[in-house]
Amino acid sequence: MSTLFRRFFDRLPVRPVASDGHLHLLSPEELRAVRRSHRVAVAAAAGLSVMGFLLYFLPVYSAPDLFPSAPVTLLGAEIVVPWAETLWGLVLMVVEIYLLVLLNLWGVHTIAVETGMMGAHNKAEVSEALIDIGLENKHKGLLQYGIDPFLGLNPVVLFTVNLLLRLKGWLGSKILRYAVQRLLGRFAVREVLDFVGMPIYMAINAWSTHAVLREATVIIMGQKLIEHLGRRLPPDLATTAADRDLLFDTFRFIAVSKRDFHQNHFLLTKTLIEKYGIEVATAKGSLDDYLVRLAQAPAPLRRACVLLIVIGFVLDGQVSWRERRRIALLAEKGVFVYRADDVSRWCRDFVRGAGIEELLARQLDGATAR
């Protein structure tokens, strides 16, 4: 289906917009346009869920003769398999998924145009990356630098968490259905139980589209922020092999703290590896001594590494409880003067397009922050 998605994306019109050129910052007009498109797409995603439920259940209730069942003997017991109803549900599910993907692609395309990242002159150049965002393809470019965000994580725990995330919609629907059944008892008719899961799937559809469009905004602004950062960092920051190793381990520290792959983290790593000519060591060990080396680094390099850590924490648009614990640990080790609330505030500013100039000035212009 990738050919269909690409043709759809390529045929979306690019309307001319007045952009200020600062893609990591959003003007009030740009912010209003992005939010408007965001709301339209999220509402449409929720509406697709309602449409799917109605198209599935209304024919089943109004014309049951169109959905025959077949008796099947299994382990000596005869069960009735509603094969036609199941097939109808599968067809509708596939159609709904494809419509959601097309909706996400439209939303990503619209946001890219409204923020000034994409115009008629460069659509062919940036379309590949934008389509990947719309299709929610994980960008695992960090692996080419030997950086594994899941370093030291138990693979059983990782598998279990991913499995639960994939099953969350089904589990939520079943739990809600069970709760209604228990509350209503014998008064719970089939129609009530069948439709009780609809709000959950509406929420899942809406949240999925919200996450995709939010990610698109974060990546668009993040790319230009990284370019801006690359110009602001001094060229003589890492003059020795130890300095370059510390910078490289800073990228690893960010990835391991995030426990995920992200396109902005890859671009940050790539930009500074190329800027400072850092040799990539793909077989690096643990990061147990990283904070000790960071505390002992020269002040300009230490400030730059702290800046990179904060930017790395906000570049994916969220600061998790794990990162809050990391921030507390950094403060405890004496290499951080920022609190988790400070980082969360910069993250909110970054996501809403206000930029993080305050942080850049404090860390790069010789301020007292470490």
Q: Concatenated DSSP letters for 42-101?
A: HHHHHHHHHHHHHHHHHHHHH-GGGS--EEEEETTEEEEE-HHHHHHHHHHHHHHHHHHH
Average confidence (pLDDT) over 30-43:
90
User: Helix, strand, or coil here: 367?
Assistant: coil
Per DSSP, helices labelled H in the chain are 2-11, 28-62, 83-114, 123-134, 155-184, 190-195, 198-232, 241-258, 263-276, 290-296, 299-314, 321-332, 340-351, 357-364
Q: Which residue has the higher pLDDT, 38 or 29?
A: 38
- How many C-beta atoms lie closer than 10 Å to residue 242's C-beta? 13
Rounded Cα gap, residues 175 and 10, in angstroms = 42
Average confidence (pLDDT) over 72-78:
74
pLDDT above 70: percentage of residues in the chain: 81
> Is 2 a residue whose pLDDT tops 50?
yes
Candidate from 93-102, 143-152, 178-187 with smallest mean pLDDT: 178-187
Candidate from 24-28, 99-103, 289-293, 359-363 with smallest mean pLDDT: 24-28
Average confidence (pLDDT) over 245-255:
90
Q: Please report which confidence band the pLDDT of residue 107 belongs to, taking 50, 70 and 90 as the band edges.
A: very high
Using an 8 Å Cβ cutoff, are 6 and 131 in contact?
Answer: yes
> Is 163 a residue whose pLDDT tops 70?
no
pLDDT above 90: percentage of residues in the chain: 16
- Angle, alpha carbons 156-158-160 (nearest 5°): 70
- For residue 234, the cross-strand partners are none
For 311, what's the count of Cα atoms within 13 Å in the CB-facing half-sphere? 35
Rounded Cα gap, residues 154 and 56, in angstroms = 41
Rounded Cα gap, residues 243 and 277, in angstroms = 11
In the prediction, which pLDDT does 99 show? 92
In the prediction, which pLDDT does 109 show? 93
Phi-psi region of 148 (alpha: psi -120 to 50; beta: other; left: phi over 0): beta
In the prediction, which pLDDT does 162 show? 56
Candidate from 127-141, 149-163, 265-279, 331-345 with smallest mean pLDDT: 149-163
In the prediction, which pLDDT does 330 show? 85
> Is 176 a residue whose pLDDT tops 80?
no
Using an 8 Å Cβ cutoff, are 309 and 291 in contact?
Answer: no
How far from chain centre, in Å, is Cα 273?
24
- For residue 81, the cross-strand partners are 70
Using an 8 Å Cβ cutoff, are 152 and 290 in contact?
Answer: no
Q: Which pTM does this prediction carry?
A: 0.76
Mean pLDDT of the chain: 81
